[in-house]
Amino acid sequence: MRVGIYARVSTNEQRTLPMQLKALRKYVRARNWKVALEVEDIGSGVKERKKREQVMDAARRREIDVVLVWKLDRWGRSIHDLFMTMKELTDLDVIFVSLTEAVDLSSPVGRAVAGLLTVFANFERELLRERVKAGIAYARKRGKRHGRPASVTKYATKVRKLFAQGVSKAEIARQLSISRTSVRRLLLNSK
């Protein structure tokens, strides 16, 4: 089995990368597997983990048969993220193993754990959805506008002035570096 090892710490101050790698390599040797890829990552809470994506890309290219991590929280940002990546790996017939939690998706127990993760991921998503809805409702009650602010409204006066001078909508858009659709909307809303 060709293994992709992924070891991560949140900050440079954390010194557990060597310990993680030593334990992961030992596990690979004990299983008579071969390390095909080894990725060390440092970062916390970022949306895109480019180093982790290297491991996923290797799985997609069928260069590895197993993804091996120290702990689940070293791999996933959230339960949902963890579930989605584990599902993709399963769909690719790549085994996911978390060493310290003894999660091995090649076993029935590991697949049961993945099933529980599905339940928790859905629960986490529902909680987040409820919090967002409550926040929006609270903001609306206080008279706050919801959504992205209109970015071109600052040009409304200039647009109307140029249009009144006979400048075409396309030329106004070019001069102000905004879209023609925005020019049309501003003119429509000024009537």
* CATH number of this structure's domain 2-121: 3.40.50.1390
**Predicted pLDDT at 61:** 96
Architecture of the domain defined by 153-189:
Orthogonal Bundle (1.10)
**Residues tagged active-site:** 10
Name the residue ranges covered by the structural domains of the chain. Answer: 2-121, 153-189
164 CB burial (10 A radius; 0-12, 13-18, 19+): exposed
- State the pTM of this model: 0.59
Number of Cβ within 10 Å of residue 111's Cβ equals: 13
Residue 42: CB atoms within 10 Å: 14
Residue where the block lists tokens 């690979």: 28
- The mean pLDDT value of the chain amounts to 86
Residue 109 has pLDDT above 80, yes or no: no
What local confidence, expressed as pLDDT, does residue 92 receive?
94
Digit-coded pLDDT (tens) for 148-170: 666 788 888 999 999 999 999 99
Confidence of residue 50 (pLDDT cuts 50, 70, 90): confident
